[in-house]
Amino acid sequence: MSEAKIQEIRSDIEEINDLLKQAKRKKVQDLLSLEIRKLETELITLKEKETLTPMEVSPIPTTSTSAPVQKKYQVKLNVYGWDQSDKFVKVFVELKNVHTLPKEQVYCKLTDKSMELHVDNLENKDYLLVINKLLEPINVADSHWKQKTDKVVIFLAKSNPNTTWSHMTEIEKKFEDQRNNRLKPAETDKKDPQDSIMSLMKNMYETGDDEMKRMISKAWYEGQQRKKTDIMDL
């Protein structure tokens, strides 16, 4: 089912890209570009959910026969919720049966601008959630986490209490600011449509992960090939 969904999103992206090349009005081009970015983000999310990195666990030696090699998997998480109070930013991660694990198997590695949640050996899987470049610094010493029913809650203590975080990370804020700037009429009217598209693609490439960069490079290469074909046809 996931593979069919992934293929459907890819087809949507290709078709919208074709429409983007035909669009002439600036506002239409911006709307199409935003839709492409949403679909690409959804595609990456689906792919990451399916990412399982196998890793072997050494068997426990016995006096009679060797125990079979067990396989464990590392699952990288990218879905979480968050909220905040005057003192804390609270991160919510849902994992079925996580409350049944010993406390030493659920832990966080924190710096003033990042957090990693580790959940070890939950139903033969190791789970990892990494959030880098937090919007504001945190107080590591005052931060903590709790296991609840089917959920882990991380309490990130704000270094500057009583401040409100508009976003969880610097990258999210940057995306939002750039999107708002692109949609300002005073600015968009002055920009060439092609420049706007190139700026969007460049930003997505610079801030995206490896999969996003690969997709953008592929789209750029195919676009160049189409241009060469059109010239030869003339």
Model confidence at 69, in pLDDT bands (50, 70, 90)?
A: low
Shared domain check, 150 and 75: yes
Q: Does 40 lie in the same domain as 87?
A: no
Position 179 scores a pLDDT of: 79
Domain end residue (candidates: 158, 180, 207): 158
Q: Quote the domain boundaries for residue 20.
A: 1-50
Give percent of the chain above pLDDT 90.
Answer: 40
What span, in angstroms and rounded, lies between the C-alpha atoms of 89 and 139? 11
In a domain, 56, yes or no: no
Say what the pLDDT of residue 216 is.
75
pLDDT score, position 233: 55
- What is the reported pLDDT for 57? 43
The first and second tokens of residue 106, run together, are 């659920």
The four Cα atoms 96, 97, 98, 104 give a dihedral, to 10 degrees, of -160
How far is 175 from 194, CA to CA, in rounded Å? 19
pLDDT of residue 9: 80
Task: Using the 3D structure, point to which of 124, 158, 192 is the last residue of a domain.
Answer: 158
Is 204 a member of any domain? no
Average pLDDT on 96-116 reads 95
Q: What is the pTM of this model?
A: 0.51
In a domain, 191, yes or no: no
Q: What is the pLDDT of residue 67?
A: 55
Considering the domain architecture, whether residues 108 and 73 belong to the same structural domain is answered as: yes
Q: What is the phi/psi pair of residue 142, to 5°? A: -95, 0
pLDDT of residue 101: 96
Q: How many CB atoms lie within 10 A of CB 87?
A: 13
Whether residue 38 sits in one domain with residue 94: no
Report H helices in the chain. 2-22, 26-50, 170-182, 185-188, 193-207, 210-233
Residue 127's Cα: distance from chain center in Å? 15
- Tens digit of each residue's pLDDT (9 = 90 or more) over 139-151: 999 999 999 999 9
pLDDT band at 231 (very low <50, low <70, confident <90, very high): low
Reported as a pLDDT band with limits 50, 70 and 90, residue 56 is very low
- For residue 55, tell me if it sits in a domain: no
- Would 5 be classed as within a structural domain? yes
Has residue 114 been placed in a domain? yes
Q: Which of 57-66, 98-107, 173-182 has the highest mean pLDDT?
A: 98-107
Residue 129 has pLDDT above 80, yes or no: yes
In total, how many domains does the chain have? 2
Residue 50 has a pLDDT of 65
Q: What is the CATH number of the domain that holds 116?
A: 2.60.40.790
Mean pLDDT of all residues in 26-42: 80
- Final residue of a structural domain among 120, 138, 158: 158
**pLDDT value of residue 142:** 96
Q: Verify that 81 and 14 share a domain, yes or no.
A: no
